Amino acid sequence: MDKYLKKFLYLSIAVIFALCLFILGMVFIYRNFTISNYNFIIILVIMVFIGITAFIVVSIPIILKAYRAKRIKHSLAAFAKSSLNILFPLISLLLKILKNNKDTIRRFYIDINNILTESAGIKCKPDDLMLILPHCLQNFECKIKITSDIRDCKNCDRCTIGDIKNMASDMGIKVFVVTGGTAARNVIVNEKPKIVVAVACERDLISGIFDFKNLCVIGVTNERPNGPCKDTFVNVETLRNKLDMLII
């Protein structure tokens, strides 16, 4: 049997088994629970939702104040970030139901994540800091493969890769040019940096920030005048300022 078909079959059987267990559990609850048991569960669910709602309500003014001031007290940063991690998926779900564009709220989340992370005052040595770039920063017509090593760039000035390469060399930080989110995750797992500064579109940055919640990730959105994934660019000075703030 084909290995892919075999895996699909095994997983399908596992899903059916899990569904059967769930059905048996529901039957058991139906036959053995009393009205008071149901009432207790409903009250417990209501209390959990009240607690989550109160948590979000209290944190929203803190998040807004941090966003306007571009700074927040270290003691409040973790609280605000926890609330944001609950609130953002709910807002994203609402926007999906309404079929609205998510890029605006994604950019807000990236900006406030940067503020909360930077306010924590975490810094590291240059060799513990990693800069991750998307391959679409490279000129579309360029024949040089910089995803293997950015140092292969010939500084032709047709894109910002050469300036970023020189800047990173001067600062002594690691730079990786990746072809997508999976490649970026693999680099982070293999290199184990203390801080990551990533350049990407809003969607990829959000995905990376959520995947590495226990890692300091600073996101910088790229500009896309030619549409997604082709001849994008980033302000090199903005990038340098972000990196300077994080280096000891």
Task: Supply the pLDDT for residue 230.
Answer: 87
In degrees and rounded to multiples of 5, residue 125 shows phi and psi of: -70, 155
Q: For 53-80, what is the mean pLDDT?
A: 87
3-state SS string for 159-228: CCHHHHHHHHHHHCCEEEEECCHHHHHHHHHHHCCCEEEEEECHHHHHHHHHHCCCCEEEEEECECCCCC
- Look at residue 152 in the predicted model and tell me its pLDDT: 87
Residue 163 confidence (pLDDT): 92
- Nearest to residue 198, comparing CAs of 182, 176, 179, 213? 176
Q: Is residue 47's pLDDT more than 90? A: yes
Residues of 233-244 as b/e, b for ≥16 C-beta within 10 angstroms? bbeeeebbebbe
Which helix H or strand E contains 22, and what residues bound it? helix 3-32
Rounded mean pLDDT, 86-113: 87
Band of pLDDT at residue 44, cut at 50, 70 and 90: very high
The predicted pLDDT at position 96 comes to 86
Q: What is the mean pLDDT of residues 160-179?
A: 92
Q: 1: pLDDT confidence band, cut at 50, 70 and 90? A: low
> Mean pLDDT of all residues in the chain?
88
Q: How confident is the model at residue 180 (pLDDT cuts 50, 70, 90)?
A: confident
pLDDT value at residue 132: 95
- The DSSP letter of residue 146 is T
CA–CA separation, 105 and 179 (whole Å):
25
pLDDT digits 0-9 by tens, 201-242: 998 999 888 888 888 899 999 998 888 888 898 999 989 988
Largest Cα separation within the chain, whole Å, is: 76
Tens digits of residue pLDDT in 81-93: 888 888 888 888 8
Mean pLDDT for the stretch of residues 164-170:
92
- Burial class (CB within 10 angstroms; exposed 0-12, middle 13-18, buried 19+) of 109: buried
Task: Bin 5: left if φ > 0, else alpha if -120 < ψ < 50, else beta.
Answer: alpha
pLDDT(48) > 80: yes
Of all residues in the chain, what percent are helix, strand and coil, respectively (each to 5)?
65, 10, 25
Residue at 142: amino acid letter:
C
Answer yes or no: pTM beyond 0.95. no
Write down the pLDDT at residue 200.
92
**Residue range 132-139: mean pLDDT, rounded:** 92
- At 194 the pLDDT is 92
What share of the chain in percent tops pLDDT 70?
A: 100
Q: Give the pLDDT confidence score for residue 131 in this predicted structure.
A: 95
Contacts of residue 110, Cβ cutoff 8 Å, sequence gap at least 6: 202, 205, 206, 209, 219, 221
